[in-house]
Amino acid sequence: MKVQSTTTQQDDHFLISNYDYKSTNIEKNGDKYIAKPQITNFKFKTDTRIPKLGVMLVGWGGNNGTTLTGGVLANKFNITWNSKRGTHQPNFYGSLTQSSVIKIGTCNTEEVFVPFKDVLPMVNPCDIVFGGWDISSMNLADAMNRAQVVEYDLQQKLRPYLEKLVPLPSIYYPDFIAANQNDRADNVIPGNNKLEHLNVIRKNIADFKQQNNLDKVILLWTANTERFCVEDPNVHGTAEKLLKSIESSHPEISASTIFACAACLEGCSFINGSPQNTIVPGVIELAEKAGVFVAGDDFKTGQTKFKTCLVEYLVGAGIKPKAIISYNHLGNNDGKNLSQESCFKSKERSKKTCVDDILESNKVLYPTEEELNIDHTIVIKYCPETGDSKKAMDEYIAEIFLGGRQTFAVYNVCEDSLLAAPLIMDLLLLCELFERIQFSKDTSEFQRFDTVLSWLSYLMKAPKSESGITTINSLSRQRAMLENLVKVCAGLTIDDNLRLEVRYG
Ligand code: NAD
Of 462, 460, 463, 433, nearest in space to 449 by CA: 433
Of 28, 8, 10, nearest in space to 18 by CA: 8
Beta bridge partners of 391: 329, 413
DSSP secondary structure string, 133-182?
Answer: E-SS---HHHHHHHHT-S-HHHHHHHHHHHTT--PBPB---GGGS-GGGG
CB 328 within 8 A of CB 216: no
Sign of CA dihedral 298, 304, 309, 314: negative
Instruction: Give the distance, in angstroms, between the CA of residue 120 and the centroid of all CA atoms in the same chain.
Output: 20
Give dist(CA 432, CA 381) in Å, integer: 36
Cβ of 259 below 6 Å from ligand 1: no
Is 345 an annotated catalytic residue? no
Bond prior to 297 in cis (omega within 30° of 0)? yes
Give dist(CA 435, CA 273) in Å, integer: 19
Give dist(CA 121, CA 2) in Å, integer: 12
Q: What is the mean pLDDT of residues 162-185?
A: 95
Residue 342 confidence (pLDDT): 86
Q: What is the mean pLDDT of residues 374-397?
A: 92
Residue 133 confidence (pLDDT): 98
Q: Is the pLDDT of residue 502 over 90?
A: no
Atom of ligand 1 nearest to the CA of 338: 34
- Protein residue closest via CA to atom 23 of ligand 1: 334
Model-level pTM greater than 0.90? yes
Long-range contacts from 493-498, C-beta under 8 angstroms, 24+ separation: 493/105, 495/103
Residue 59 confidence (pLDDT): 98
Of 168, 171, 157, 132, nearest in space to 54 by CA: 132
Q: Which of 298, 388, 394, 426 is catalytic?
A: 298
Amino acid at 144: M
Residue 225 confidence (pLDDT): 95
The answer, yes or no, to whether ipTM is higher than 0.90 is: yes
Residue 338 confidence (pLDDT): 87
Q: What is the mean pLDDT of residues 120-134?
A: 98
Residue 337 confidence (pLDDT): 86
Give dist(CA 401, CA 474) in Å, integer: 24
Task: Note the pLDDT tens digit of each residue in 321-330.
Answer: 999 999 999 8
Q: Which of 43, 157, 320, 347 is catalytic?
A: 347
Atom of ligand 1 nearest to the CA of 414: 40
Of 41, 35, 7, nearest in space to 22 by CA: 41
Task: Note the pLDDT tens digit of each residue in 426-484.
Answer: 999 999 999 999 999 988 899 999 999 999 999 999 999 887 888 888 999 999 999 99
Q: Is the pLDDT of residue 1 over 90?
A: no
Would you call 370 helix, strand, or coil by DSSP?
helix
Cβ of 63 below 6 Å from ligand 1: yes
Residue 500 confidence (pLDDT): 86
Instruction: Give the distance, in angstroms, between the CA of residue 273 and the centroid of all CA atoms in the same chain.
Output: 6
Q: Is the pLDDT of residue 35 over 90?
A: yes
Task: Note the pLDDT tens digit of each residue in 221-256.
Answer: 999 999 999 999 999 999 999 999 999 999 999 999
Kindly state the percentage of the chain with pLDDT values over 90. Answer: 84
φ, ψ for residue 271 (rounded to 5)? -120, 130
Give dist(CA 65, CA 273) in Å, integer: 11
Residue 313 confidence (pLDDT): 95
Residue 377 has a CB neighbour count (10 Å cut-off) of 13
Q: Which of 305, 320, 390, 487 is catalytic?
A: 390
Cβ of 282 below 6 Å from ligand 1: no
Cβ of 310 below 6 Å from ligand 1: no
Task: Quote the DSSP letter at residue 108.
Answer: T
CB 271 within 8 A of CB 295: yes
pLDDT grade for 499, boundaries at 50, 70 and 90: confident
Residue 111 confidence (pLDDT): 92
First CA to last CA distance, the chain: 23
Q: Which of 126-135, 388-397, 492-501 has the highest mean pLDDT?
A: 126-135
Is 298 an annotated catalytic residue? yes
